[in-house]
Amino acid sequence: MSVGPVLHTHLTLVEVAEPETLAEIRADRRLGPLIVAQLSERVAIAAPGCAKDLVQRLIKAGHTPKLIER
Amino acid sequence: MRLLRTPSPVVLEGMLPNPATCLARLNADRLKKIARLWVGKDANKLNKEGALRAVTHGLGDPRAIRAVVAGLSDFERTGLGLIKARGGHAVYTEELVGELLMFDLPFAGKEHYGGYHDGVGTHFGSVNALLDTGLIIRIDGSGERITRYEPGLGVYSDAKVLAAVDPLVPKPLAIEPRPGPPAGSVRRPTEVLLECLALARVLSAVPPIPLTARGLRSKSALARIGKPLGWKEHAVSLRNALGFYLSLFEAAGLLREVPEERCLALDRAHAEALLAEPYPEQTRRWARAYRALLGWCEAMPLAIHFYADPDDPEPSTFNALRAALLLGLGALPETGAWYRVEDLSDAIFDRIGPHVGLGYRRHFHAPHGATPSKLAALRGEWLAAERGSWRELEGLWIASAVAGPLHHLGLVELAASGQGKGTSEVFRLTEMGRIALGFHRSEAKPVEPRPAWVVQPNFDIVLYLEDAAPAALAFIDRIAEHRQLGGDTALYRLTREAIYRALESGLAAEALIRRLGEGSRHPLPEAVAHTLGDWAARRERISVHRNARILEFASGAVRDAALQAAKVKGTAVGERYVLVQSVARGFQIGAVLCYEPALPKCLCVAEDGEIRIDPTTRDLLITSELAAFSDPISGDEYGWRMSGASVRRAAARGWSATEVVSRLGGRAKHRLPPLLECAVRAWGGARTAPGPIALPTVPILQVGDRQAAEAIAQSALLRPYLAGRLGPHAFLSAQDRRARSTRSSRSLASR
C-alpha cells in the first residue's frame, strides 16, 4: 500500500463560486455528460481531454468561464 | 521536419548554415579567388585547405574585414548594404536581383548572354558576381552559381561583414514631376491597421489554416476566415484581399508554418506587438513584407500565365519586380511631387528592363562584322521593341501594383492628372511612404497621446482615428466589437462576449476599466463602468482548470496538517483533497496517477460480471464510471457487479452496449472475457445472440451466432457443462448438467 497521499495529474476540473451553479451545470443536458465526478459541492472533475469543448459549451450556455492552464 | 511552404525572411534568419561549411564545398579555384581578397596574390600558392583557412581566419578578424570591405567596388558594397538595410542577414535571391540592377552599377558579366542554352543569363548575373567574392553565401549551402534552372532560395552574409558596411543610396530615377491636384486618394495608416487587426482577430478565433500536400492553404479554411471579415474586392480595391493579407502576414512572420501539424498558425504575441508599434514602423514592416510576398500577385496578364503560377509559394520574378519598384519609389527625385505611373515604369525599364521580365526576355545579338553605327542602330531598335513589350506587360503590372497594394498599404497617394483623352494616373509618396521607402532614415513627428474615444451610455465607443495611436486602436479593437467605419471615426460596441474574450486573452478587469476611462474624452458613464465590473465578476463564477493536480490524502486531518505545515500549497477541496499549486521538496507522495492521454487501468473483470478495483491504482473517476453500468457489492469497497439489470439501466440512460464494453475494456488490466462482452451486447440489445438454442434427446447445445459460439467455447464458466464441441455452432452437453447449461446460455440471450 502507498505510504503517502496520491497525486492525480492532468485533470480537468470545474470550480464554481456557488454550489447552485454546479448543480445547474450538471442538470444541463449539454454540459452534464462532461462532468464525471464531484470532489466537493464546488469542485467537479470533467471528462479527460474535454477542457476546450467544455469551455465552448459553457459559453454557448451563457456562462463566461475562466480557463486556467497549469 | 520538412517545411511545406517557403520560409519567410524572418524564419530564414533562424535557418542559416555555417559559412565555413558552405565555403568548404567550393572547389579549389573558386576558393583561391575568394582568398585573394584576404591575402592578396599569395592565395595563388595555396591549396584548397590553405585557401579555406585564409578566408575563415579573415572572417574572424574585424580589422581584416574592414580592410576587405574598404577595397570592395561600389557594386559589391551595395549588395552587402542592401542585405544590411533589411535588419537581418538573409535575403531572397530574386529581391536582391531586382535591387542590385536598380542601382545601375557595372559588374562583371552584366552584359554577357551566352545564348538560348545559357542557364545563367543576365537575370542572376548580379548575384553571381557577389557570390564570387565569397562575402555572400547561398542559404542552401550550395557552392554552385545561380541559374534560371536552379535559382536558389536566397543568400546571406556574415554579421561581422555586414557590420563593416555602410548602405549606399541609389542615384535618382530619370523621371519628371507632373502637375497634380492638391490632394488625391490616400489610405490612412489607421485604415490599414483596422484591417490587420480584424484579420488577426479572426485568425485568433479560428483553428490554424491546414495546408494541402502542395503546401497551399486549404480553401475551406479560407472560406471560414473570409466570412467574418466580409471583405469585398470593390470595397478594398485589391485583388483577392484575403490572399494578399494572409501572404503579407506570412512574409512579416506573423503567420508561421507548424510543420508537425501541417498548418499555418498565427503568432499572437508577435502580431500583438507589431500591431501596437508606431505607424511609421508598421508601414516599414509592411513594405518589407510586401517585397517578400509569396503566393499572391498584383495582376496576371495572359502572357505571364505561361511562365508563372501566382499560387506557387516560391520567390519569383514578381519579387524581383516588387523590390525594384519599392527601390525606385525611394529613388524618386522629389519625394513630395506627383509622377505619372507610366513614367515610373519607363524609368524602371531603363535600369532593369533588359535583364528582368515577367515574360520571355529577348536578348540583343550583335551580328557578326556589323559596323559600330549599324550596331548602335540595331541595339536602338531592339531596345525600342523591348520597351514596347515592357509597357504592355510589366508596365501593366506596375500600374496594378501602384493602384493595388502600394495604395492599399498607404504608401502612395493616387490622383488623375489632365483632362479628356490626356488624363493619366499620377501618384506621389505619402508621408508614411517617404518614411518607409526613403533611404535617409526619417521619422514622423512624434504625436502626443491624446484621449481618442468617447464611451456612450449605450455601450457604443466612438473612436476618433486622427488621435488614435496604434496601441489605443489595438486596445479598443481587443475589448469591443467593431461596428462601423466612417470618415474620421470608427464605431465600436462593448459587449459581454468581447469583454470576456479580452479578459481571457490576459487583460485584467481593473486595467481594462481604468484604461478605457483614461483614453476617453469624457468620464466613463457610471452605468457602463458598473456593468463592465459585473461582466468581469461573472467570469470569476466558473473556472475550468486544465492539467490540474489533486492530492488525495487518507483523511481530512492529514490533509489539514500538510497544508498547515506548508508541505503542500494549494486550496483544500472537499474532505480530503487539495487542488495543488506546489509541493515542498522532500514531501513524500505515495503514488502518481496520470489521467491523460489515457485513464489509469485499475480493474480486474471476471466472466460472471464481477469487477474488482485495484486499490493501488484506483483513480478519482472509476467509481462514478462503474456506477453508470454496474452495482456496488455491499460491504466490499472495491467490488462491483455487472448484470443484465445494470446494463439495461445504462441502456435506458443512453449508453450503448459498445460504449459499455469499450469503457470497461479501456479500464481493465487485461482483455475483457469474450463471454462477458457477448453478454453485455445481448443485455444492451445490440444483438439477439446466441440465437435459437435446443437440447434434443441427444444433449447437443446449438448456437446460432458464430461469435457467441466462440465465446462459449472459450468460457471457463461453461466448460464444466460441455462434453465437447461438434462443429462451429454445436456443443455436446454433459448429460447430467444440461438443464443448467441451457439456463446459463439463455441468460446470455435474455434482453
The DSSP secondary-structure symbol of B45 reads: G
B615 interface with A at CB cutoff 8 Å: yes
| Confidence grade of residue B353 (pLDDT, cut at 50, 70, 90) | confident
Taking CA atoms, what residue in A is nearest to B599?
Answer: A48
Q: How far apart are CA B166 and CA B163, in angstroms?
A: 8
pLDDT at A1 over 50: no
| Confidence grade of residue B540 (pLDDT, cut at 50, 70, 90) | confident
The predicted pLDDT at position B613 comes to 93
Residues 6+ apart with CB under 8 A from B517: B523, B524, B529
More confidently predicted of B317 and B419: B317
CA dihedral over A44, A50, A52, A58, signed as positive or negative? negative
Of B589, B596, B621, the CB nearest to A5: B589
Of A8, A12, A58, the CB nearest to B552: A8
Taking CA atoms, what residue in B is nearest to A43?
Answer: B573
The predicted pLDDT at position B701 comes to 83
A3 interface with B at CB cutoff 8 Å: yes
pLDDT at B751 over 90: no
Mutate to test the interface with B, among A29, A35, A36, A66 (most CBs of B within 10 A): A66
Burial of B280 by CB count in 10 Å (0-12 exposed, 13-18 middle, 19+ buried)? middle
Give strand ranges (E) for A17-69: 35-38, 43-46, 66-69
| Neighbouring C-beta atoms of residue A60, cutoff 10 Å | 10
Mean pLDDT within B321-334: 94
Of B504, B559, B624, the CB nearest to A37: B624
By the 8 A CB rule, do B358 and B304 touch? yes
Mean pLDDT within B251-267: 93
| Confidence grade of residue B84 (pLDDT, cut at 50, 70, 90) | very high
CB contact under 8 A, A36 and B625: yes
The predicted pLDDT at position B553 comes to 92
The predicted pLDDT at position A49 comes to 85
In angstroms, what separates the C-alpha of B722 from chain A's closest C-alpha?
Answer: 42
**CB-CB neighbors (< 8 A) of B542 in chain A:** 14-17, 21, 25, 58, 63-66
Q: How far apart are CA B676 and CA B608, in angstroms?
A: 7
User: Among B312-321, B379-388, B547-556, B596-605, which is the least confidently predicted range?
Assistant: B312-321
Q: How far apart are CA B200 and CA B266, in angstroms?
A: 8
- The three grid cell numbers given for residue A62, joined into one nine-digit string: 451563457
CB contact under 8 A, A11 and B620: yes
CB contact under 8 A, A6 and B504: no
Residues 6+ apart with CB under 8 A from B320: B94, B95, B97, B98, B123, B352, B356
| Confidence grade of residue B686 (pLDDT, cut at 50, 70, 90) | low
Mean pLDDT within B156-162: 92
User: Among B257-266, B487-496, B610-619, B696-705, which is the least confidently predicted range?
Assistant: B696-705
| Confidence grade of residue B445 (pLDDT, cut at 50, 70, 90) | low
By the 8 A CB rule, do A14 and A54 touch? yes
B426 beta partners: B340, B415
What value does the mean pLDDT of chain B take?
Answer: 87
Taking CA atoms, what residue in B is nearest to A60?
Answer: B497
Q: State pLDDT tens for residues B268-286.
A: 999 999 999 999 999 999 9
**Radius of gyration, CA atoms only, chain A:** 13
Q: How far apart are CA B427 and CA B414, in angstroms?
A: 5
Helices (H) and strands (E) in chain A, counts: 2, 4
Residues 6+ apart with CB under 8 A from B114: B120, B121
Residues 6+ apart with CB under 8 A from B708: B678, B689, B690, B691, B748
The predicted pLDDT at position B750 comes to 46
B574 interface with A at CB cutoff 8 Å: yes
The predicted pLDDT at position B293 comes to 93
**CB-CB neighbors (< 8 A) of B583 in chain A:** 7
Q: Tell me phi and psi for residue B285, to 5 degrees.
A: -65, -40
**CB-CB neighbors (< 8 A) of B496 in chain A:** 64
Which of B242-246, B687-691, B695-699 has the highest mean predicted lDDT (pLDDT)? B242-246
pLDDT at B368 over 70: yes
pLDDT at B512 over 80: yes
**CB-CB neighbors (< 8 A) of B541 in chain A:** 16-18, 21, 63-64
The predicted pLDDT at position B45 comes to 87
B545 interface with A at CB cutoff 8 Å: yes
By the 8 A CB rule, do A59 and A40 touch? no
Q: State pLDDT tens for residues B570-582.
A: 999 999 999 999 9
**CB-CB neighbors (< 8 A) of B573 in chain A:** 39-40, 42-43
The predicted pLDDT at position B331 comes to 93
**CB-CB neighbors (< 8 A) of B503 in chain A:** 66
pLDDT at B121 over 70: no
The predicted pLDDT at position B113 comes to 61
Taking CA atoms, what residue in B is nearest to A50?
Answer: B546
pLDDT at B248 over 90: yes
User: Among B378-387, B415-424, B737-746, which is the least confidently predicted range?
Assistant: B737-746
Q: State pLDDT tens for residues B451-504.
A: 889 999 999 999 998 888 999 999 999 999 988 877 788 999 999 989 998 998
* Assembly ipTM: 0.96
The three-class DSSP label of residue B634 is coil
What value does the mean pLDDT of chain A take?
Answer: 89
By the 8 A CB rule, do B332 and B429 touch? yes
Q: Name the nearest CA neighbour of B460 among B511, B504, B503, B522.
A: B522
| Confidence grade of residue B624 (pLDDT, cut at 50, 70, 90) | confident
By the 8 A CB rule, do A24 and B562 touch? no
Mutate to test the interface with B, among A1, A2, A6, A67 (most CBs of B within 10 A): A6
More confidently predicted of B693 and B454: B454
| Neighbouring C-beta atoms of residue B370, cutoff 10 Å | 13
By the 8 A CB rule, do B639 and B612 touch? yes
B542 interface with A at CB cutoff 8 Å: yes
More confidently predicted of A45 and B335: A45
B552 interface with A at CB cutoff 8 Å: yes
The predicted pLDDT at position B20 comes to 85
- The three grid cell numbers given for residue B671, joined into one nine-digit string: 482483455
Give strand ranges (E) for B47-124: 90-92
More confidently predicted of B339 and B444: B339
By the 8 A CB rule, do B171 and B191 touch? no
By the 8 A CB rule, do B494 and B455 touch? yes
Of B540, B577, B597, the CB nearest to A66: B540
Determine the Cα angle at B12 with ends B166 and B258, to 5°: 155
CB contact under 8 A, A40 and B543: no
The predicted pLDDT at position B41 comes to 87
**CB-CB neighbors (< 8 A) of B597 in chain A:** 49
In angstroms, what separates the C-alpha of A55 from chain B's closest C-alpha?
Answer: 7
Taking CA atoms, what residue in A is nearest to B590?
Answer: A4
Q: Provide the phi-psi class of B15: left if phi over 0, else alpha when psi is between -120 and 50, else beta.
A: alpha
The predicted pLDDT at position A24 comes to 93
Q: How far apart are CA B93 and CA B86, in angstroms?
A: 14
Taking CA atoms, what residue in A is nearest to B586?
Answer: A4
pLDDT at B117 over 60: no
**CB-CB neighbors (< 8 A) of A3 in chain B:** 588, 590
Q: How far apart are CA B102 and CA B717, in angstroms?
A: 90
The predicted pLDDT at position B81 comes to 94
Q: Taking a contact as any Cβ pair under 8 Å apart, which residues of chain B between 305 and 344 contact chain A?
A: none
Q: Taking a contact as any Cβ pair under 8 Å apart, which residues of chain A between 22 and 51 contact chain B?
A: 25, 36-37, 39-40, 42-43, 45-46, 48-49, 51
The predicted pLDDT at position B491 comes to 93
The predicted pLDDT at position B742 comes to 60
A63 interface with B at CB cutoff 8 Å: yes
Write the single-letter amino acid at B58.
Answer: G
Tracing cell 458613464 back to the chain, one arrives at: B525
